[in-house]
Amino acid sequence: MTNRLTFAFVLALFVPSPLHAQQQVTGIVLQVEPAHRSLLVSCDEIAGYMPAMEMTFTVLDAKQLSTLHAGTPVRFTMVKRGHTLYARNIQTTTGANLESEPMQASSLSTLQAALDPASSTPVTQGRHVPDFELTDQAGNRVRLSSLTGKVVLLTFGYSRCPNPDYCLRLSDNLASVRRRLSARIPRDLVLITIAIDPEHDQGVTLSQYAAVWKAAPPDWYFLTGPLPQIKTVSATFGMNFWRREGLLTHTLHTVVIDRSGDLAANLEGNQFTVKQLTDLVQSVMNQRPR
């Protein structure tokens, strides 16, 4: 059951007193509707005021929406006027993890982009994701294009990642989405984890890595391939990694690809909630294919 509520229900539950006439809201954008001057946001909980939920907000000027897209983390002031909720002073925030390793990986990505711009241009929102073919945990070849017609939720990881807030957390996010949307997998939704340490994570090791989450095709593919190909696929989404002292320094990305094979969202970092990721995936699933 979705947490998205109608305006009438929201206003019946949360009728602001003068003290609550304005509230600071944080969340991630699910949909942007410039023609209606509105945006749908998966909002964080506001303690003592409202639980985490999806809500639609109106803006006074559609230009405020020009830099926003699905997956953008935002902060703004919520103002109620009559029966309409307005978003004012919208600011985009960072979803990036500010710990040392992701920060170092981000700096290395910036340096790489400066030295070799052609190799560091990820696919942009709404553009078609280039096709690729990799090998899954069962030893079968899988093409991204074979999943056209379904939404793809994709992330990256490697079995020896030592920090539970990085690869483990991103895979746990996918496992949580699978539980919440189990009725729509694999008919409408397929999960993919791309193993970024193919020298180690292949064959039995890759199969054991996938088994940690009870992941099996056609629901959830753990994919690997030659290192140059993995680097190319990863760079498609702005995901970079470097070997360092036997382990990998890497950025954190969670990607949503729509039914037409276009990039719907690319979430950087790990600061979003499972509910927000589920809301985002469900929003993309409910859109009509172009």
Q: CA 142, CA 145: separation in Å to the nearest integer?
A: 9
**Residue 207 clears pLDDT 70, i.e. is over it:** yes
Who has greater pLDDT, 155 or 18?
Answer: 155
**Residue 45 clears pLDDT 90, i.e. is over it:** yes
Predicted confidence band at 6 (pLDDT cuts at 50, 70, 90)? very low
Phi and psi torsions of 108, nearest 5° = -65, -35
Angle (CA) 203 207 213, round 5°: 160
**Residue 102 clears pLDDT 70, i.e. is over it:** no
Q: CA 30, CA 43: separation in Å to the nearest integer?
A: 10
- Going 73 to 76 to 80 to 83, the CA torsion angle's sign is negative
**Residue 21 clears pLDDT 70, i.e. is over it:** no
**Residue 220 clears pLDDT 90, i.e. is over it:** yes
Who has greater pLDDT, 247 or 34?
Answer: 34
For residues 182-210, give the mean pLDDT: 96
For residues 159-178, give the mean pLDDT: 93
**Residue 289 clears pLDDT 80, i.e. is over it:** no
State pLDDT tens for residues 111-157: 455 445 555 589 999 999 999 999 999 999 999 999 999 999 999 99
Q: So what's the pLDDT on residue 49?
A: 84
Predicted confidence band at 240 (pLDDT cuts at 50, 70, 90)? confident
Domains by residue range for the chain, with CATH: 7-92 (2.40.50.320), 100-285 (3.40.30.10)
| % the chain with pLDDT above 70 | 83
Contact yes or no for 218/185 (Cβ under 8 A): no
Beta strands in the chain (DSSP E): 22-33, 38-43, 53-58, 73-81, 84-92, 133-135, 141-143, 151-157, 189-195, 220-223, 241-244, 247-250, 253-257, 263-268
